[in-house]
Amino acid sequence: MSDPAFWFVQAPGWLLVGYLVVAQCTAAVSYSLGVKMGTQEPAEYITDVGVAFFKGFAGADLVLFTPLLAVGLLGITGAARPGLMSASARRSASRSIGRSPASGSSARHAARAGGACRKTPITG
């Protein structure tokens, strides 16, 4: 966890989670509270349509984006099992670097399933 790349992802990620919780999610629950906190513009400035538009985006942030971001950040640390699944694309990509397309687990799975597996590289 002392890798600079790890902190390059974690630090801004958790700052974004904190910002979303304070600014977006709070205002999604109570828009007037967001206006009082100064994180949102009053409805007189952005009209009722702007408020409805904001509530749609803030509601999606509250229900989907913020929890998925937090679980993904936890997954990168290896601290949460669901987070491991959300970070699995990063892990599987790092394991497959340097392999030829015909080697690795996909070739083994194809061979077990009875599918054809090309062992020689295709040349132009």
Size of the chain, expressed as the number of residues it contains: 124
Beta-carbon contacts of residue 62 (< 8 Å; ≥ 6 apart)? 24, 25, 28, 29
Question: How confident is the model over 16-62, as pLDDT tens digits?
Answer: 999 999 988 998 999 999 999 998 999 999 999 999 999 999 999 89
Question: How confident is the model over 101-112, as pLDDT tens digits?
Answer: 554 555 555 555
Residue 124 DSSP code: -
Residue 121 DSSP code: P
Domain extent listing, the chain: 4-97
Is the whole model's pTM more than 0.85, yes or no? no
